[in-house]
Structure 1
Amino acid sequence: MNAVDAANKAEIAMMNAVLADNFGQLYADIWKVCVNLSLRISDLLTLKYADLNLGERSLKLTEAKTGKLKTIRLNFAAILVIVRRQQENPADTWLFQVHSNRAKDKPVSWVSVSRVFKDAGELLGLTINTQSMRKSSGMDMYKDGVPVEKIAKVLNHSNTTSTLRYLGITQEEVLKTYDDYEL
């Protein structure tokens, strides 16, 4: 697994602004929705409006990587982006659809998103890729004290060891806890 940065809340907001200002609202919207829903980019880019149940604020999908069924609660930050995109592009099928003549009526490609995120991250001095959104939301939960077991469920990891490794929590950090909590 390549080392990528998990952005903190301030960096998440700066990344959103850099994407919107320098690369277009489409990429800022991808960042915003994905960081709020903790999805893998492969699952996010294949979402169709028909997959979303805005009335129940939910999304049910089968993850491409794991084949696991996942139910997600759409939070209001994600819903605002989804509703705006749907109003601006009422004929679109895909949530993140390309409007260029070369790729008309297709979702934006992972390669395109990856390139743009890398470039935007460099502008901010961060090592960012398509995993960063998911990692950022997981790390934010972890720093807020959400139990690792719950984060593993949100990220749909099969065990907490995978979640700790994904978040970059090292054995040395775990051992340091013993020093930090002398009672």
Structure 2
Amino acid sequence: MNTVEPIRDEGTVQDIADYLKAKNERDYLMWMFGVYTAFRISDILRFRVRDVKNKRSIGLREKKTGKERKFIVNKRLQKAIEQYIRDKPDYEYLFKSRQGENKPISRQQAYNIIKDAAQKFGVEHVGTHTMRKTFGYHVYQKTKDAVMLMKIYNHSDIHITLRYIGVEQDYIDETMAAFDIMY
């Protein structure tokens, strides 16, 4: 199994957003949605226009855990949503596939989109969880509030959260690189 990592460099997160926006507005919104909400891709793909239209907060029951989750829509994400859904009917899936009547893209297609964009910027170890992990990594770097992230992710243990967002490995790497027993 390959390990999926967060994107630690803020500039690269922005570069991927800019690249996707220029390439495909749907893919750009998917990236923004993932990075700003920390939802799993299985939940992101279920959204329809009516679920986000004119809303400052969005709630859903997580597919994996069955737990309710509500979040405030950040201003940057709100602007991206408004621009994207401007002429779309309420019943349409937010991340609609070009194949079929009104179906969302597949998880595999979401993965392909993310992997392609990441490769353009030399980022390895990516997957659909990269967006979710990137959110957590950067929130943690700004707040150092692992307990809040644990609640957002619905994790049962703080160590799971720290490992999930890559902070635990960063700390291990720094400790190992600085260790010197010889005088």
Structure 1 segment 106-125 matched on structure 2, within 5 A: 106-125=103-122
Which residue does the alignment assign to 2:60? 61
Distance in 1 (CA, whole Å) between partners of 2:148 and 2:33 is: 20
Tell me, yes or no, if structure 1 residue 130 matches structure 2 residue 131: no
Tell me the TM-score normalized by structure 2. 0.84
Q: CA RMSD in A?
A: 2.5
Match of 1:157 among 150, 155, 158: 155
Q: Which structure 2 segments of 5+ residues have no match?
A: 179-183
Task: Report the Cα offset of residue 64 of structure 1.
Answer: 0.7
Distance in 2 (CA, whole Å) between partners of 1:111 and 1:53 is: 26
Which residue does the alignment assign to 1:28? 28
Change (3 A) 1:90 1:164: same
Change (3 A) 1:143 1:77: same
Q: Tell me the alpha carbon deviations over residues 53-91 of structure 1, each in whole angstroms, 9 at most, x when there is no partner.
A: 634x11111111111111111111111121112213236
Q: After alignment, is 13-22 or 59-68 more displaced?
A: 13-22
Distance in 2 (CA, whole Å) between partners of 1:48 and 1:122 is: 29
SS in 2 for 1:29: helix
SS in 1 for 2:86: helix
Residue 27 of structure 2 aligns to which amino acid in structure 1?
A: Y
Distance in 1 (CA, whole Å) between partners of 2:80 and 2:87 is: 10
Tell me, yes or no, if structure 1 residue 11 matches structure 2 residue 12: yes
Contact 1:95 1:107 in 2 (8 A): yes
Distance in 2 (CA, whole Å) between partners of 1:66 and 1:5 is: 22
Distance in 1 (CA, whole Å) between partners of 2:123 and 2:173 is: 25
Which residue does the alignment assign to 1:139? 137
Identity %: 27
Task: Report the Cα offset of residue 51 of structure 1.
Answer: 2.6
Q: Which structure 1 segments of 5+ residues have no match?
A: none
Which residue does the alignment assign to 2:45? 45
Distance in 2 (CA, whole Å) between partners of 1:40 and 1:153 is: 15
Matched pairs, number:
175
Distance in 2 (CA, whole Å) between partners of 1:139 and 1:82 is: 23
Tell me, yes or no, if structure 1 residue 86 matches structure 2 residue 85: yes
Task: Report the Cα offset of residue 171 of structure 1.
Answer: 9.2
After TM superposition, the runs of 4+ consecutive aligned structure 1 residues lying more than 4 A away are: none
Change (3 A) 1:25 1:51: closer
Residue 61 of structure 1 aligns to which amino acid in structure 2?
A: L
